[in-house]
Amino acid sequence: MSMEGGSGYKDVPGPAEETGALVSMPSGLERAHATVPVLKERFEDAFLRHEVVAGDEHVVFVARDRLYEVLQWLKTDPDHAYNFLSDVTAVDYGGGRPIQMVYQLYSIPHRRVLRVKAEVPLSDLEVDSVVPLWSAANWLEREVYDMFGVRFRNHPDLRRILMPEVYAEGHPLRKDFPLRGRFSRAEQTRRALAQAPEDYYIPSDFGPGRDFQVVGWQEVGGEPVPVKEGSAQERKASPPPASGSPPDPTRS
C-alpha cells in the first residue's frame, strides 16, 4: 500500500505479492477498529489484508470463497452486529485485473462502519448472494450483475435492472466496454426501434382507451429511419414497407 498525502492508505487492486503493497499497519492503527483484529483472528486463513483510506475508513479484504461466511459472522455476532447493508457495488480497474466486490456495512447498535472487499477473477465472475443476510442486497446485486457481469449464486431473481433484458452489448461499467457501445449507432437504433411494446408495458396499459404510441421505421440507405405512424390499430392494419423499400412520400 502506498501513502497518499499522509491521509491514510491508498487502495491497491490485486494481491499484495503482485502490487508490492505492504501488508502491515502502523503501530496502533490496526487496533483502531474494534472489529478488524477480531475478524483477523477468527478468519485467519480468509483474512487477506487490511487498509485504511481517507484517514479513518477501514477496508478488509477477504478470500472470495469465504466471503459469505465472513459477512454472515459480521452480521450475526452480537459484539459486532453489522445489521445494516449500506451498499453493494463493484470496481473494475481494467487491465485484466480482478473485479473487486465491495460491501459497505454499518452496525447500528455499535455505531461502527466497515467496508469488506473480495477480488473476483474475470475468468470466474461469481460470488454467493447475500440476500439471505440482507434483503436490501436484492436490487443492489442485480445492478452489479447488470453493469459488471458478476453472477450471484442463490439470488432469488437475478436479471438486469437498468438495461433491457434483451440488451446484447455486455456490461456497460466494465473497463473493456467501448464508450459508444459494441454495436454501431445504426444497429443500436435498429434494435431500439424493433423492440416490442409488450416487453416494456404492464398488461393494464393495453386496456380500452390506452392506445400506446409506436414508432415505425424503415430502411433508407442502409440506415433505420423513423416514419410517422398512426395508432397501434392502424399500424397493424397497414404494416411498414419491407426492408430496403424507398420511403412513401404520402406518409411524410
Contact at 8 Å (CB) between 74 and 50?
no
Task: Report the pLDDT value the prediction gives residue 26, as an integer from 0 to 100.
Answer: 52
How sure is the predictor about 4, in pLDDT bands with cuts at 50, 70 and 90? very low
Q: Which CATH architecture has domain 2-153?
A: 2-Layer Sandwich (3.30)
195 to 131, 158, 191, 200: CA distances (angstroms): 32, 22, 6, 9
Amino acid at site 128? D
State how beta strands 112-120 and 99-107 pair. Answer: antiparallel
Task: Report the pLDDT value the prediction gives residue 169, as an integer from 0 to 100.
Answer: 85
The structural domains of the chain, with segments of one domain joined by +, span: 2-153, 185-251
Cβ-proximal residues to 79 (8 Å cutoff; 6+ apart), any chain? 38
Percent of the chain exceeding pLDDT 90 equals 51
How sure is the predictor about 232, in pLDDT bands with cuts at 50, 70 and 90? very low
Map residue 223 onto helix, strand or coil: strand
What one-character-per-residue DSSP string does 31-78 give?
GGSSSHHHHHHHTTTTEEEEEEETTTEEEEEE-GGGHHHHHHHHHH-T
Task: Report the pLDDT value the prediction gives residue 14, as an integer from 0 to 100.
Answer: 54
Average pLDDT score over residue span 130-156: 97
Mean pLDDT over the full length of the chain: 80
Q: Can you tell me the distance from the alpha carbon of 41 to that of 167, in angstroms, rounded to the nearest whole number?
A: 45
Characterize 9-27 residue by residue with b for buried, 16 or more Cβ atoms within 10 angstroms of its Cβ, and e for exposed: bebbbbeeeeeebeeebee
Task: Report the pLDDT value the prediction gives residue 242, as an integer from 0 to 100.
Answer: 56
Q: Can you tell me the distance from the alpha carbon of 144 to that of 88, in angstroms, rounded to the nearest whole number?
A: 8
The three cell numbers locating residue 74: 459480521
- Give the pTM: 0.71
Average pLDDT score over residue span 214-218: 66
Q: Can you tell me the distance from the alpha carbon of 82 to that of 139, in angstroms, rounded to the nearest whole number?
A: 19
Contact at 8 Å (CB) between 118 and 63?
yes
Contact at 8 Å (CB) between 2 and 9?
yes
